Amino acid sequence: MHYATVKGILSAKNGMNLYRGCQHGCIYCDSRSTCYHMEHDFEDVEVKRNAIPLLEDALRRKRKPCMIGMGSMTDPYLPLEEELCHTRQALELIEKYGFGATLITKSARVLRDLELLKRINEQTKCVVQMTLTTYDEALCRKLEPAVSTTRERFEALKRLRDAGVPTVVWLCPILPFLNDTEENINGLLDYCVEAKVKSIICFGMGMTLREGNREYFYQQLDRRFPGLKEKYIRRYGNAYMIDSPNSQELMKLFHRRCAEAGILHDNDRIFAYLDEFNVKEQAQLSLFN
Ligand code: SF4
Which CATH number is 43's domain given? 3.20.20.70
| Residue 38 Cα to ligand 1 middle (Å) | 14
Measured from the CA of 73, which atom of ligand 1 is nearest?
3
pLDDT at 279: 64
| Full domain range(s) for residue 212 | 2-286
Which of 30, 31, 143 has most ligand 1 atoms within 8 Å of CB, for mutation? Answer: 31
| Residue 147 Cα to ligand 1 middle (Å) | 9
| Residue 24 Cα to ligand 1 middle (Å) | 6
Summarised one tens digit per residue, pLDDT across range 236-265 is 999 999 999 999 999 999 999 999 999 999
The mean pLDDT values, 10 residues at a time, for the chain of 289 residues are 95 96 94 90 94 97 96 94 97 98 97 98 98 98 96 98 98 98 98 98 97 96 97 96 97 98 98 87 47
Pocket of ligand 1 from Cβ distances under 6 Å: 22, 24-26, 29, 31, 74-75, 106, 147
pLDDT at 280: 55
| Residue 287 Cα to ligand 1 middle (Å) | 36
Best CA proximity match to 85, nearest among 97, 72, 96, 76: 76
- Nearest residue (CA) to ligand 1, atom 3: 74
Measured from the CA of 28, which atom of ligand 1 is nearest?
7
pLDDT at 32: 93
Which of 28, 73, 74 has most ligand 1 atoms within 8 Å of CB, for mutation? Answer: 74
Instruction: Give the burial class of 226: count Cβ atoms within 10 A of its Cβ; 0-12 exposed, 13-18 middle, 19 or more buried.
Output: exposed
| Residue 281 Cα to ligand 1 middle (Å) | 37
- Nearest residue (CA) to ligand 1, atom 8: 29
Summarised one tens digit per residue, pLDDT across range 67-105 is 999 999 999 999 999 999 999 999 999 999 999 999 999
Q: What is the pTM of this model?
A: 0.94
Quote the strand ranges of the chain, DSSP E: 2-4, 15-16, 19-20, 46-48, 67-70, 100-105, 126-132, 167-171, 199-201, 206-208, 241-243
Residue 2 CB neighbours (<10 A): 12
What letter represents residue 42's amino acid? Answer: F
Output 250-259 pairs: Cβ under 8 A, ≥24 positions apart: 250/174, 250/180, 250/182, 250/185, 250/205, 251/202, 251/204, 251/205, 253/182, 253/185, 253/186, 254/171, 254/185, 254/189, 254/200, 254/202, 254/205, 257/186, 257/189, 257/193, 258/189, 258/200
Residue 56 and residue 78: Cα distance in Å, rounded? 22
